[in-house]
Amino acid sequence: MNSFVWLAWTIAILLPFSPFSYLQPILVGGAAGTWFLLGYVLFLAITVLGFAVVASLLTAIETDERRELNHGIMLIGFILLYAGAVGGCLLLGVAGLVGAYPQITQNSTVSATQEVLSQFVTPISAACLLAVAGAALTVCGMGTAKASRR
């Protein structure tokens, strides 16, 4: 699913007709466009590649080391981690779009852009804290793993 979202995000950036044609100038413009780009890159790194690596690691722990993981704790941790990571990345992207669009289309001031972006700081911070809590629970679930008798 994450791969499809990232692919749709990539295609939207590359489409040459309106309203998508504003995305490339937003990226080039910097400032709020950097927030959009950061959300895009982090979405790829965390939700597409990162979760694939974690899944491979957990499979290796269970099969190669023959350890049983605490699935209850890890499920809660993964849900929190996923919600926080996806939410934070998407919020970064939306903040970049909402902040940069008036700058590109109406030549709004930098202070107006900063005011728009400041509204996203608290929700993005909350999403990051959610992801950190989820990562901590996931690590706790791996730390309580016991060797199985297979």
Q: Which of these, 68, 45, 42, 59, lies nearest to 127 by C-alpha position?
A: 42
The residue with greater pLDDT, 150 or 129, is 129
First to last CA, the chain: 34
Rounded CA separation 94/141 (Å) = 33
Domain ranges for the chain: 2-147
Any idea which of 79-88, 101-110, 124-133 has the lowest mean pLDDT?
A: 101-110
Q: Dihedrals φ, ψ of 67, to 5°?
A: -110, 140
Give percent of the chain with pLDDT exceeding 90. 35
100-117 pLDDT tens trace: 888 888 888 888 889 999
Rounded CA separation 66/148 (Å) = 6
